Amino acid sequence: MAEQPLPATEIVTPRLFDETFLRKLDRLAILSRRALAGQIQGERRSPKRGQSVEFADYRPYAPGDDFRRIDWNAYGRLERFFIKLFVEEEDLLVHLLVDASRSMDWGEPNKLEYGVRAAGALGYISLAGLDRVTVTALGGRGHLTPRRGRAQALPLFTFLQNLTGAGEARLAASLKSYAAGAHQPGPLMLISDLMDDGWAEGLRALAARGFDVTVLHVLAPAEVDPALGGDLKLIDAETGAAVEITADYDLLQRYRQSVVTWQRELRDFCGVRGIHYVPVMTSLPFEELLFSLLRQRGVLS
């Protein structure tokens, strides 16, 4: 028997979303751009062939096949036995990877808080669609095993709300390890500021493993257009390394251009590998992210 959804009032976590917002999320769905086979019956079309109402193909009869699936009309024309195959509707495993490094726990609005809300919304949308959801905090800081159904929204939200920024992301090692250990590649959402030189190596590993990857590149407004001036000492939030600068007009202009160049590099890198690249500043209203930007980019429908 299919799992029955719980009323939204039974799973509301006030610190993350209210009941009204959850009901809005119920109208959205995760889009998958690739034909990826699920494991149990759900609501998505699978490349496997099973028994459902939509015809897919024929194959020759083999001993042990169900006689009820023989196409007798085909036998009358060809005098050979053929079995009808139907499209099987199955679930997918949606992978949420959240960068919970120290650099994410910064900015106004805070990048980690924004990323946690994004993961919570995407996870809830997947659960509401009867897909399974798993969450991993990069850097070895926690993992939520696959869950299915709206009743699992509370454990999802609780896991996410307990994340704190600490240490380094180590994107190359973390993403390569995740790709190597995955048993069922599916839609994968990486939520990160990508402030780690290993992003290219890590994304390359995910794409090669067959994940349908979306990158939410989360930056705070002050990282894109800093309001600085004078002699300053900048400290790397993850490594503690310090550098002294004089923040004059020319330096800030070069900095802003370097951010644009970096985002263009990311977009081009992802584009040739079939990865969705979605740059987003935390100043973007959250509803606009979900109901406008991610729908425009083909991540949600």
Residue type, 178: Y
Judge whether residue 252 has pLDDT over 90.
Answer: no
Q: Are residues 63 and 116 in the same domain?
A: no
In the numeric block, the tokens 């028994």 are attached to: 51
**Domain count across the chain:** 2
Instruction: Label residue 140 by pLDDT band (50, 70, 90).
Output: low
Most confidently modeled range among 7-16, 176-185, 220-229, 280-289: 280-289
pLDDT value, residue 245: 58
- Residue 122: closest CA among 208, 218, 202: 218
In whole numbers, what is the pLDDT of the chain averaged over residues? 82
* 42-68 mean pLDDT: 56
Q: How far apart are CA 196 and CA 287, in angstroms?
A: 28
The rounded percent of the chain whose pLDDT value lies above 70 is: 74
50 lies in the same domain as 140: no
Residue 123 structural domain: 93-220+277-296
Which helix (H) or strand (E) segment is 160 a member of? Answer: helix 153-161
Residues 56 and 201 in one domain: no
Hey, what are 126's tokens? Answer: 């997947």
Q: Are residues 284 and 202 in the same domain?
A: yes
Q: Are residues 75 and 204 in the same domain?
A: no
* Helix, coil or strand: residue 53: strand
In a domain, 112, yes or no: yes
Between 251 and 233, where is the model more confident? 251
> 214: which 2 tokens?
């979306």
Q: Is residue 252 included in any domain, yes or no?
A: no
Q: What is the pLDDT of residue 187?
A: 95
Q: Which two tokens stand for residue 31?
A: 């889009």
pLDDT at residue 13 in the model: 45
- Asked if 123 and 170 sit in the same domain, the reply is yes
